[in-house]
Structure 1
Amino acid sequence: MTTTLDTVPRTTADEDLTVVPVRHWGRWIAAGAALLSLAGLVGSLATNANLRWDVVGNYLFADLIFDGLATTLWLTVASMALGLSLGTLVAVMRLSSNPVLLSMSSLFVWVFRGTPLLVQIIFWGYAGALYQHVKIGVPFTDITFVQADTNDLLTPTVAALLALGLNEAAYASEIVRAGIQSVDVGQTEAAHSLGMRPALTMRRIVLPQAMRVIIPPMGNETINMLKMTALVSVIAAHDLMSNIQDVYAQNYQVIPMLVVASLWYLALVSLLSVPQAWLERRYGRGTGRTERATALGRLLGRARLVGGRPKNAKETMR
């Protein structure tokens, strides 16, 4: 006896079908043109005698450059620590219902976010012209407990730290405030119903959930801070850019020395991008946004997809 399945004619679904990917010729042409242009630019720079690659090689690992790198890294870490801690405090103050705290925090953000960073660096660097001495005592009286010379207290490095840290605090406060407001209010209400105090609720409940919103822009702020340290060269803070300027002021090799600075900034930014990506994946778990979105990640994923693509429909069904 013949069953119904035996009488069903074979269809093309049962036959071997070759899977042919869609060819995006326009993308390949554009990619080829981009690679050709990049190769031409790199070749032009490599063979340009005016670039003086010998000077770049002589100063790339010089002791003066490493001294500037140490100051740049120290300023970056210290300024971000100051900016993040103070910015978190300012963000909490801006979310407070107390009108005095709200007004003071808003004034702080308005001043330090509304004036250029270069102006703030110069202001702190030359604060001795405004106040010759820094005094701590009773206001509106002659009673003084501590007194110090402003120029001795505000060295170029300290002035650079204050300018970078306070400016970063204004921007970090807005990032932290946005992260806190992204957490559902019900989380705070539930914590309060369990008897948790506001400070403990903020530290244990709100901030850990807000980190997934805070980390990406804060990572960008850290990278931006590393580059913004170059501005402190106007007050001779002995950072990387300050030492670079001291060198080309003597040998007049401006372009080669700027290439040295650019190479080191690119290397440092690349290193900072690694922990930033790890933190984004760490705090973004469970949100569907943890996959690699970098160009290298997409290329590797594309290579795995092409290498593992099934050859026919039967392999796909298996």
Structure 2
Amino acid sequence: MDVLLDNTDIFIRGFQNTLLLFAFSAVASLILGTGLAMLRVSPVPVFRAAGATYVTIVRNTPLTLVFFFFVFAFPLLKIISQDDFTPFLGAVIALSLYTAAFVCEVIRSGINTVPAGQMEAARAVGLTFGQTLTSVVLPQATRSVVPPMISTFIALLKNTTIASGFSVVEAGAIRDYLSERGEDVLVGLLWVAVAFVVLVIPLTLLQRVLEKRWSVAR
């Protein structure tokens, strides 16, 4: 307990940034992933190809390389002013774009569980492709999408630790600060692991509750 109590400031700062990284990246990846899923099921071949290309490339690229590009190379493109660009922002962009590929596949799989007749009926009454997806297909796909989506976000939460290698002070960087203070690093890492378990448990319980409720509803 001494390692935890004597270094409370480090743990609080680290996990505060971890939760911020997770929150921003989860929202951004959900929005982008939904857009990519719509491209993946679009009747326009060019859109389907664009969505498939993005997902294939990003899912097969190591997350560390994605971080490296957006933390070190992306600022050189001067799309965003270097004064406004921070390693934290680069980490959010990297996590969002990477996770969006997995979110896309989860949503696309959920869409595929909806009977094709639902979409055909919606189009028959005059709804556009976008209206059909948002008003008919996606609401029905939610039951199939939410449980695996939570698993994707649990993976995102753990992936935030990679940001510590790119000058972002979060949970993954706690080890370095403990080492500088001469603390027992192994004990510190055990506390970090415990904290992640505590953060993941509510998501896991939510996943099980939704699976149980919706399996009964079916």
TM-score by length of 1: 0.64
Report the alpha carbon displacement of residue 65 of structure 1 after superposing the two structures with TM.
1.1
From the two aligned structures, give the one with the greater helix fraction: 2
1:232 corresponds to 2:180: no
Amino acid corresponding to residue 211 of structure 1 in structure 2: T
**C-alpha contact (below 8 Å) 1:248/1:257 kept by paired residues:** no
**Which has the larger Rg?**
1
CA distance in 2, matches of 1:153, 1:83: 21
1:127 corresponds to 2:60: no
Q: Describe the SS at the equivalent of 1:148.
A: coil
**C-alpha contact (below 8 Å) 2:3/2:183 kept by paired residues:** no
Match in the other structure for 2:2 = 54
CA distance in 2, matches of 1:102, 1:265: 37
Measured at CA, do residues 54 and 252 of structure 1 come closer, stay the same or move farther in structure 2, by a change above 3 Å?
closer
Matching residue within 28, 45, 48 for 1:99: 45
- The C-alpha deviation readout for 1:217-256, integer Å capped at 9, x for no partner, is 1111111111111111001211122234222233152101
For structure 2, the 5+ residue unaligned runs are: none
Report the alpha carbon displacement of residue 274 of structure 1 after superposing the two structures with TM.
2.9
CA distance in 2, matches of 1:283, 1:127: 45
**C-alpha contact (below 8 Å) 2:111/2:137 kept by paired residues:** yes
Amino acid corresponding to residue 81 of structure 2 in structure 1: A
- The C-alpha deviation readout for 1:94-138, integer Å capped at 9, x for no partner, is 11232321222122112211111112112211115xx63515xxx
Match in the other structure for 1:203 = 134
CA distance in 1, matches of 2:215, 2:124: 27
CA distance in 1, matches of 2:130, 2:169: 40
1:74 corresponds to 2:20: yes
Report the alpha carbon displacement of residue 285 of structure 1 after superposing the two structures with TM.
4.3
CA distance in 2, matches of 1:232, 1:163: 9
Measured at CA, do residues 278 and 166 of structure 1 come closer, stay the same or move farther in structure 2, by a change above 3 Å?
same
1:188 corresponds to 2:119: yes
CA distance in 2, matches of 1:269, 1:58: 25
When the two chains are superposed, the root-mean-square deviation of aligned CA atoms in Å is 2.0
**C-alpha contact (below 8 Å) 1:122/1:234 kept by paired residues:** no
1:162 corresponds to 2:110: no
CA distance in 1, matches of 2:194, 2:120: 50
Report the alpha carbon displacement of residue 284 of structure 1 after superposing the two structures with TM.
3.8
Match in the other structure for 1:8 = none
**C-alpha contact (below 8 Å) 1:188/1:205 kept by paired residues:** yes
Match in the other structure for 1:141 = none
CA distance in 2, matches of 1:121, 1:194: 46
**C-alpha contact (below 8 Å) 1:230/1:240 kept by paired residues:** yes
Report the alpha carbon displacement of residue 198 of structure 1 after superposing the two structures with TM.
2.4
For structure 1, the 5+ residue unaligned runs are: 1-52, 136-146, 288-318
**C-alpha contact (below 8 Å) 2:21/2:160 kept by paired residues:** yes
Amino acid corresponding to residue 112 of structure 1 in structure 2: V
Report the alpha carbon displacement of residue 195 of structure 1 after superposing the two structures with TM.
3.0
Measured at CA, do residues 197 and 100 of structure 1 come closer, stay the same or move farther in structure 2, by a change above 3 Å?
closer
CA distance in 2, matches of 1:215, 1:80: 13
- The C-alpha deviation readout for 1:54-75, integer Å capped at 9, x for no partner, is 324433xx12211221111111
Aligned residues: 218
Match in the other structure for 1:216 = 147
